[in-house]
Amino acid sequence: MIKKFIDKLLGKSGAPGSGGKARFGKRQEVDASVHGIDPALVDERARNVVTTLQQAGYEAYVVGGAVRDLLLGLRPKDFDVATNATPEQVKGLFRRAFIIGRRFRIVHVVYGRGREHEVIEVSTFRAYMDNAGAEQVAGNERTSKGELAGMKHAVDASGRVLRDNVWGPQEEDAARRDFTVNAMYYDPASQIVVDYHNGIKDAKKLTLRMIGDPITRYREDPVRIIRAIRFSAKLAQLGFKLEPKTAAPLVESSRLLADVPQSRLFDEMLKLLQTGHAVATVAQLRKLGLATGIYPLLDVVVERADTPFVQAALQDTDRRVGEGKPVAPSFLLACVLWADVRDGWAQRLEGRHGQRPQAPFPALQDAIDDVFNARIGDVSGRGKLAADMREIWMMQPRFDKRSGSTPHSLVEQARFRAAFDFMRLRADVGEVGEAIAEWWQEFSTADDLRRQDLMDQVRDEQHKKTRQRVPARTPAPASAERRASGQDEGEREDAETAPRPDGEASDAPRKRRRRRKPRSGGAGEAGGVAAAE
């Protein structure tokens, strides 16, 4: 440790994976006449965070992917800020600021409320510390909080970083970042870009290159493998390609993901699918030889990506993100796993494999439970995500019933829009009749009078179909007593059709159960008289 400290003071230690070359890259300050960033593309709230920190005497810059996008002439969707102020110091400067994270402590500065709110993520410059300079911990990312308590920087025996909250200079912070094009710092006030690893050059060459030795960096944090996929998919439409040395170790290094907690992999999978490049991500996974092995549920997405329904869901998600509309992971995952739910539902309705046939709704509930157990497990915590998925699926058979109080109650449900969009996609691929989807589209936006007209039309159509199916019969003569009670006329009515996975209803009409003739002199006779009165 003493030798390392002395070497560091003398500038002898090499940059990560550099083999003794320049320590942490050479600082380059590039002015606006060279980089050409349009200041108007910088978010006013991000500018405010930087200005507030600088006025308090700290260094502060817009950092990461936002700088890359600005260099390319794009308006970034998210802005991150890096500073030499500690999380506590940052928090003290803003009214609505929250310190989050344990492994990496950062600050969220919040502007606005509700759906219009924006979060500016502020991180403190971190020191680069290799394995020799970190506290060694036996284990992996599942290591308990107790074992990591009090540690600022810790890695496991394989070199995986478990905790990293050691503050340091900007040059070391840049070396810690993943890719050269994401390791640049922009000062909106001076309009200077600070570049340590030729990020501007790589951006112009449309190259995605890992800082340092890729194998070492993937070992430090295997999630960088997923980040490489995500960024390559996101930037592919701009012509970016992974540098060969960065791409080469991906498949071999993917085995390291086995030691990453499932909850973290689940979150990273959602980032792959919900950043507006889901279709491109699937293509990139296949291209890089990583179609399987990253995460079981992601394997299912890639496997089914070419099926009409899942393909439509992926494209719809990308479209919504591109239009700035919100997307929910529950919707996309419900689409991906719908085939499992639908098939399990059909099996229970028909009583396959020696099982007794079940009623429609219990059969659907049991099919959903099986899918959760087989595909998702406890990763989602069976919380809101699982509840939303279940509600989307359970609403599907209710769309088949367009009479009585069902339509009115259904459109009032909190998840109606998601369930309707799901059914709309089913109609687009021919799983549900187009007429049903159009009917619900109109009903959901109509006034009360028009809604009643729509329901009357459905009732007339159902009666017409029933008359066509049931041959006319000569009614049996009714007793005087039954004629008097009015029970002989109009006793047959349309049966409520049982919902089915294919969207079709049972054709068989059912009779209303008729009241038995009461026996004279008994309690039934008294009840009948009372009812008549």
Instruction: For tokens 């003569």, name the residue.
Output: 477
Q: Report the distance separating Cα 174 and Cα 22, nearest Å.
A: 13
Coil, strand or helix at 500: coil
Catalytic hit among 78, 259, 428, 488? 78
Residues 6+ apart with CB under 8 A from 31: 191, 192
Catalytic residue among 178, 195, 202, 400: 178
Tell me the CA distances in angstroms from 74 to 36, 38, 41, 235, 419, one per residue in order. Answer: 12, 9, 8, 12, 34
Query: For the range 278-285, what are the long-range contacts, defined as Cβ-Cβ under 8 Å and sequence gap of 24 or more?
Result: 278/314, 278/317, 278/318, 278/332, 279/305, 279/311, 279/314, 279/315, 279/318, 280/233, 280/234, 280/236, 280/237, 281/229, 281/230, 281/233, 282/314, 283/233, 283/236, 284/229, 284/232, 284/233, 284/236, 285/229
Rounded to a whole number of angstroms, the CA Rg of the chain reads: 32
State the DSSP string of 367-411: HHHHHIIIIITTTTTTSHHHHHHHHHHHHGGGGG--STTHHHHHH
> Is the separation of the CB atoms in 53 and 61 below 8 Å?
no
List, in order, residues 6 or more apart from 265 with CB less than 8 Å away.
Answer: 223, 226, 257, 294, 295
> What 3-state DSSP class applies to 463?
helix
Please state the length of the chain. Answer: 533
Residue at token pair 């969220």: 108
Q: Of these residues, 43, 69, 80, 388, which one is catalytic?
A: 80
Instruction: Give the tokens for residue 104.
Output: 């990496």
Spatial distance between the Cα atoms of 364 and 250, rounded to a whole number of angstroms = 41
Active site residue 78: yes
DSSP run (H or E) holding 271 = helix 262-274
Maximum alpha-carbon separation in the chain:
114
Across 129-204, where does the E strand assignment appear? Answer: 135-137, 153-156, 161-164, 184-187, 192-195
Which amino acids are annotated catalytic? 78, 80, 178
